[in-house]
Structure 1
């Protein structure tokens, strides 16, 4: 891919927009109250804040959305079954439906002790890379650990999590504790993992605004990376270039915790086959490592197990879930927190404003001014958050800047406040305190703020 350069006024504008040089608390863009532009959900909040379609869909598109919703929510069953449109679960799997992980289109969390695992999974690989830079699977357990299975097929085992408390203090002396997780595996059906196995736990993120993120021009994301590198401030996000299994070429990664997926379509296809064992128009075979004989010999129906027309509706549904309108955007404490967020340097990576480009696949997503608070770039967040598992250009300490829009609704939607890629953080403050690497200065700025200013910054993030 050709290298892109940014010069003159555009570079200056991007530096200002990224680093907080041209906006104070008194200069809030009124459009920011509607983070998804014309798509924004302004109707229903609370526990259903993430479930609404883009507000500017027409009647026919809403019908497509509703069909996609039904397939997103419905549980899949074992082949053969009388429910032919939703048969083919497994042979091994993490969930029976999309909504198992994304309840009310929201966010998963790590399981408690002896709790059924929902909204949480573990990626696996071994050192090395495939022909396009993708991770190599564990020989016995593949690229994703699956704790459930259909009758007659052994489940792979159980994931265990133990937490150790990490004590710290804010600059004013107030104590805090963080939870450091340690992951293990029990009841392994096919022997131990490879001695060099790389393990990466993940919680399911909320589903809102995915189509809008795909509609941000690629040039914009590359320009942000160049602007950050040119700033000399020690923050230099990098794009992840990943393999597109439909177009058979390398493309910009936008989705997944390490920006390992290029499109909502491929992200959806990967979830169907990886999480539920449902073949689809992109991936026509389930993952059954050679040692898992019963998995490989399990009965199967027609391939793909989800018909193309229904798969496409789930993709449409996933692309058109609307970000909710902001709450209390003009509250004085929220505005103060907004400025503190910028002063801390958080807005360098969590870039507030973008404009989508022309998006012929879904014109309602075109030319929208949106406020997702992400640059979609990879950043080194330090050793404490490292999983040591490379994915294409993403190293073991690298994570994509997650969008912050809708974050304050997660407690109402999903009844928890667990954040970061593995859900270790109990709320916004702990999430910030885990940041290291490129974000260490921002973390220390936050840690050394007086209590009331820390609270204001947190309230701002929770208002998004």
Structure 2
């Protein structure tokens, strides 16, 4: 793991000898440029939507093409255009940007406002006990691997998500009370009859997309090294990589994407989302996700006149390239006294044990789908990309490849303070239950219980400084 670097005299922080193993003195010791030379300097609603700063002009043109197909809606077949038809038969969103608005993070629907707001950015994974061909979860036999709450004409939606909240009360050591809200999920209006009685359901919110190409370019050896050193340290923190099947590499790889690191590459993630979330087939996933019980789904019209995958390879490649080259924005106020104090507290609380600050990138698995401009960059994502047991309160009780029902991947922290200006909310964690950084910490348990306990003992000023540091990233 890497400890954060102190701002005064560029000294290694006092996180201990194990943390010092990865510490590096660089020309960007504060991580002011989270994406290295790819970093962009931007504020406001478009902070997550700019291309890497060091792309060539030809690559910027490719970025623009991918952006167009990422943001614009797909339409039902048959349609006058073959370039964007084929939506559904079942779907959640009409475009990639429908879930990742402004390339940012989704939020759960707020049913407390008295509105029935379909969860566009909140995906409900479904499975039953067991695995299939490559070790992935076994889909629910009637509804498949996820619940789709929308459908084209003549096809029934699969169901609707209902969310209620239970209060969770607690106090900090200084007596300050806090109140969390635990979401409780149910599925109603099932379109094809009951689900299997042993169905496991897991909510997943759409994350922001900045820097995903840089995460893909972190050497696998560094992720494995994180796991070895956490094991050797002998403490409660013992992360492990997920190992998953990648349809593009056609082999097992270390998982990096998804809340359980259940996807290894941007290409696989994108093709899976096109099919699962929009019903758009591709050359790697050419068959609609209709189960045997869904006759109306299986008989619905197909896009591209049913003669080819609904998104062609060239267009698909542009969409992958677009995501891979989305740039992290520069840090804000890294030299502020409160931010520096928060960085010290972040290290002291052992947050950096899982949220490893920095890496140097290598070449990604599919060079034609990304840019060489991402190679050799010192980046500051604050993640170890490992699975960790996060305790009962966050458990979904649903395995995913090697991940068990209590494990979640350490999410990167870069850009976290800009979510509110990009997306108008500050909802965090895998299902958006946390309202801000401090609530996210208070939901930690399992391997992170000791870190949470340290935060519970902090004064109000220290808690504010800790949150301010994380939001500066």
- Please state which band the TM-score falls in when normalised by the shorter chain: over 0.9
Give the deviation of 1:31 after TM superposition: 5.6
1:20–1:347 contact (8 Å) kept in structure 2: no
- Runs in 1 of length 4+ with deviation above 3 angstroms? 15-24, 26-31, 358-361
2:248–2:267 contact (8 Å) kept in structure 1: no
Cα deviation per residue 1:39-82 (whole Å; 9 max; x = unaligned)? 0011x211110000000100000000000000000000001111
1:340 pairs with 2:345: yes
1:372 pairs with 2:381: yes
Give the deviation of 1:400 after TM superposition: 0.5
Partner of 1:38: 37
Aligned partner of 2:435 among 426, 429, 434: 426
Give distance in 1, aligned partners of 2:324 and 2:18.
26
Aligned partner of 1:95 among 88, 93, 96: 93
1:152–1:294 contact (8 Å) kept in structure 2: yes
> What does 1:104-123 correspond to in 2, within 5 Å?
104-113=102-111, 114-123=116-125
Secondary structure of 1:161 counterpart: strand
Alignment CA distance shift 1:81-1:179 (3 Å): same
State the Cα RMSD in Å. 1.9
> What does 1:21-420 correspond to in 2, within 5 Å?
29-30=28-29, 32-42=31-41, 44-113=42-111, 114-300=116-302, 301-359=306-364, 360-361=367-368, 362-420=371-429
Secondary structure of 1:439 counterpart: helix
Cα deviation per residue 1:1-39 (whole Å; 9 max; x = unaligned)? xxxxxxxxxxxx9x9687478979x99943600000010
Cα deviation per residue 1:356-388 (whole Å; 9 max; x = unaligned)? 014454211111000000010100101110001
TM-score, scaled to structure 1 = 0.94
Give the deviation of 1:116 after TM superposition: 3.1
Give the deviation of 1:178 after TM superposition: 0.6
Cα deviation per residue 1:390-438 (whole Å; 9 max; x = unaligned)? 0110000010000000000000000000000000001111100000000
Alignment CA distance shift 1:18-1:292 (3 Å): farther
Secondary structure of 2:319 counterpart: helix
Partner of 2:458: 449
TM-score, scaled to structure 2 = 0.92
Gaps of 5+ in 1: 1-12
1:241–1:393 contact (8 Å) kept in structure 2: yes
Alignment CA distance shift 1:131-1:398 (3 Å): same
Give the deviation of 1:109 after TM superposition: 0.7
Cα deviation per residue 1:223-255 (whole Å; 9 max; x = unaligned)? 111001000121111010000112321111111
Give distance in 1, aligned partners of 2:129 and 2:142.
15
Give the deviation of 1:191 after TM superposition: 1.3
- Aligned residues between the structures: 450
Give distance in 2, aligned partners of 1:247 and 1:372.
25
Give distance in 1, aligned partners of 2:322 and 2:30.
25
